[in-house]
Structure 1
Amino acid sequence: MMSGRPFSLAVALLCAAMVVPAQAATIEITMENLEISPAEISAKVGDSIVWINKDVFAHTATAKTGDFDVTLPPKKSAISVLKKAGTIDYYCRYHPNMKATLKVEP
C-alpha cells in the first residue's frame, strides 16, 4: 500500500487523467426553399454554427439582438461561434418571413 506523498501524487494524476474537457459542438442550420431548418435549436456558448445556404439567392442570419448578422451568398456557407448565452430570435433581412430561434445555454 502506498502512503504519504507518492500516494497523493498517484491519486492526483489519476484524477487529472479522468477529467475530460468539454468539446464545442458544430451545429448546422440550413436555408432552403425560403425556410430555416431547424426553426428552433439549442446550443451552448462556444459551439460553432455552420450556416448553409442551399438556395439560388442570398440570405442572411440576422439576430434581432444584434448578436450576429451573417450574409450568405447563394450556395455558400459561413461559420460563427456563439459567444454568449440567451434566446436569440433571428431572420433573413432579404426574406423577413424566414424566422428561427436559437437558444444558447452557458
Structure 2
Amino acid sequence: MRIYGLKNCDSCRKAKKALPEAELVDVREVGVSDELLARAHAQFGDALLNTRSTTWRNLDDVDRALPPLALLKAHPAVMKRPFIEAGDQLFIGWNKGIEQEVQALL
C-alpha cells in the first residue's frame, strides 16, 4: 500500500498514522508514475486536482490551463492528498469513510 502526498501535509500524516504499514511517497521528491496518474485521472477526473491549495492559487493562468495530467506532472503538489494506492484500488482524500474502506482491505 502506498500513500502519495507530501510529508508535511496534515492529512497525509493522519493517513500514515492510521496505516503504519503503508509507504508514504512524497510526490515532490519522487513523483507519481504516468501510468498511475492516468489511472487515477480516469477514475477521479478533475477531482484529482486540489483547486483550494496554495499551490493552485499560486499558479499562473498558463499553468492552470494545462491538461490535468500535464499539470500534475509539472506541479505534483496540486494533487488532492492523500492519494492512496491499495492493491488495485485507488482513493483520494482522507476521512473516516475512506479510512474504513482502506482498513477493510488489510
Q: TM-score, normalised by structure 2?
A: 0.24
Structure (1 or 2) with the greater helix fraction: 2
Structure with a larger share of its residues in strand: 1
Decide which structure has the larger Cα Rg and report it.
Answer: 1
